[in-house]
């Protein structure tokens, strides 16, 4: 008799004692059950392995998860002050319903936004990226009902592409954070739409577009920023990060880059795109362990290596943007000569020598900057880019340094 026989095959052996058949049947059932579970486990391991491979490949060849959001702000929304709504910090473990109910923003119907953007016409698009497209629209200043173009107030409507990089989780994170956190240097979220398969976000419009456009695009629409404006933008972006890192808020931005810094009509800088933001460590914890996400060229080395996320990870990213402001070069640029693809690696030797700092300055500045100021900003960038996160300044210290620089001109 073969032990691989199924229980039904045992009927052929009627001459064996019934108790013995029961024992054999039980043994065979156990063996088959174990085999089935083993198969399931192996299949799960295979799927997990594939998922791990997919994520790791995605990180190794990381492209910006969201490219420039070129929407941009009328001054109607610029008068709000720094504050946090009733819940001082957006709690991590909350249901979707709790997040949407507690957010201090308006819930729009899909047809309202469809009308406000003229049926999402292609000529209404002001930005496009991995999340989908951003459309320009108009709503009534009081009721927020759709308005005719040129009337009411201007809004920017981000329409999530279901096949894009950004998904529902990131969409919800944006509502979670920007629906409760208010600061002059955070872009204002006016509302959202969650209807059937539609996921949309409604922001104040930022007419000057992104910092990325002004630094890297050669167009009559985006004039090169003067040195004074570059320091102003750096200071205001730093204030936005410092607010997020404050003891009351404890949020890590995780995706600070030039394309996520938007400029209003007066070149006031505001942080946008909170899809990757995370609550900071609590209690005695020094970091948050998370899957590595972000944009190649901006992420801190220790975060890439370990997945340990801290506020100092944001400080490193800020240092990269400071370098971009100084040099007019992208964090990663494959079109540059060999050895100059990675901005931080290329610039670090120049930052270590005060006399060589001027070799990396943006040619579009035409030398119109105070040399001592450039040296101080370069020194600050070097501190932010310290390989050891312990040696990086806090964002409050960064704000203090840049504010002193700005104030010294007024004396």
255 is catalytic: yes
| Each residue's pLDDT tens digit, 312-339 | 999 999 999 999 999 999 999 999 999 9
Predicted structure pTM score: 0.76
How far CA 304 is from CA of 291, 342, 376, in Å, comes to 9, 15, 28
| Each residue's pLDDT tens digit, 296-305 | 999 999 999 9
- The yes-or-no verdict on residue 87 having pLDDT over 50 is no
- The yes-or-no verdict on residue 307 having pLDDT over 80 is yes
> How many percent of the chain have pLDDT more than 70?
73
Region 162-186: what's the mean pLDDT? 82
- The yes-or-no verdict on residue 69 having pLDDT over 80 is no
| CATH of region 75-204 | 3.30.200.20
**What pLDDT, on a 0 to 100 scale, did the predictor assign at position 86?**
37
Indicate the annotated binding residues for ATP.
159
Query: Whole-angstrom Cα distance, residue 40 to residue 48?
Result: 12
Region 234-256: what's the mean pLDDT? 95
Query: Whole-angstrom Cα distance, residue 371 to residue 71?
Result: 34
- The confidence band for 10, taking pLDDT boundaries of 50, 70 and 90, is very low
Tokens for 48? 């997990």
State the catalytic residue, choosing from 9, 75, 123, 255: 255
- The confidence band for 115, taking pLDDT boundaries of 50, 70 and 90, is very high
Task: Supply the DSSP string of 31-56, one letter for each residue.
Answer: HHHHHHHHHHHHHHHHHHHHHHHHHH
- List, by residue range, all CATH 1.10.510.10 domains of the chain: 211-408
Average pLDDT, the chain: 80
**What pLDDT, on a 0 to 100 scale, did the predictor assign at position 16?**
44
211-408: in CATH 1.20.20.10: no
Indicate the annotated binding residues.
159
- List, by residue range, all CATH 3.30.200.20 domains of the chain: 75-204
Region 171-200: what's the mean pLDDT? 90
Region 16-23: what's the mean pLDDT? 50
């Amino acid at each position: 008799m073969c032990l691989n026989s199924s229980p039904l095959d045992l009927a052929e052996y009627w001459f064996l004692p019934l108790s013995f058949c029961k024992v054999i049947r039980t043994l065979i059932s156990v063996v088959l059950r174990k085999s089935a579970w083993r198969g399931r486990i192996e299949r799960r391991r295979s799927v997990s392995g594939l998922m791990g491979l997919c994520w790791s490949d995605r990180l190794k060849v990381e492209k910006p998860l969201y490219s420039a959001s070129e929407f941009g702000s009328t001054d109607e929304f610029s008068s709000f002050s720094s504050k946090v709504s009733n819940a001082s910090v957006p709690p991590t473990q909350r249901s979707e319903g709790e997040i949407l109910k507690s957010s201090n923003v308006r819930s729009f119907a899909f047809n309202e936004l469809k009308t406000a953007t003229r049926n999402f016409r292609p000529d209404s698009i002001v930005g496009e990226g991995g999340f989908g497209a951003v459309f320009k629209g108009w709503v009534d200043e009081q009721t927020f009902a759709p308005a005719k173009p040129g009337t009411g107030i201007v809004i920017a409507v981000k329409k999530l592409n279901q096949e894009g990089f950004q998904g529902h989780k990131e969409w919800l994170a944006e509502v979670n954070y920007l629906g409760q956190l208010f600061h002059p240097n955070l872009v204002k979220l006016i509302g959202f739409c969650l209807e059937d398969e539609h996921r949309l976000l409604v922001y104040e419009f930022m007419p000057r577009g992104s910092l990325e456009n002004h630094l890297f695009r050669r167009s009559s629409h985006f004039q090169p920023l003067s040195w004074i404006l570059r320091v102003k933008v750096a200071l205001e972006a730093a204030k936005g990060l410092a607010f997020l890192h404050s003891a009351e808020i404890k949020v890590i931005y995780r995706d600070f880059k030039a394309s996520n810094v938007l400029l209003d009509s007066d070149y006031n800088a505001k942080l946008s795109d909170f899809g990757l933001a995370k609550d900071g460590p609590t209690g005695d914890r020094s970091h948050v362990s998370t899957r590595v996400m972000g944009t190649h060229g901006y992420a801190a080395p220790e975060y890439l290596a370990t997945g340990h996320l801290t506020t100092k990870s944001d400080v490193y990213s800020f240092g990269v943007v400071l370098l971009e402001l100084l040099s007019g070069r992208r964090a990663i640029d494959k079109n540059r000569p060999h050895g100059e693809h990675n901005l931080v690696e290329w610039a670090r030797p120049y930052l270590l020598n005060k006399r060589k700092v001027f070799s990396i300055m943006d040619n579009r500045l035409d030398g119109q900057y105070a040399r001592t100021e450039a040296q101080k900003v370069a020194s600050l960038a070097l501190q932010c880019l310290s390989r050891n996160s312990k040696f990086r300044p806090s964002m409050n210290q960064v704000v203090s340094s840049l504010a002193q620089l700005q104030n010294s001109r007024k004396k």
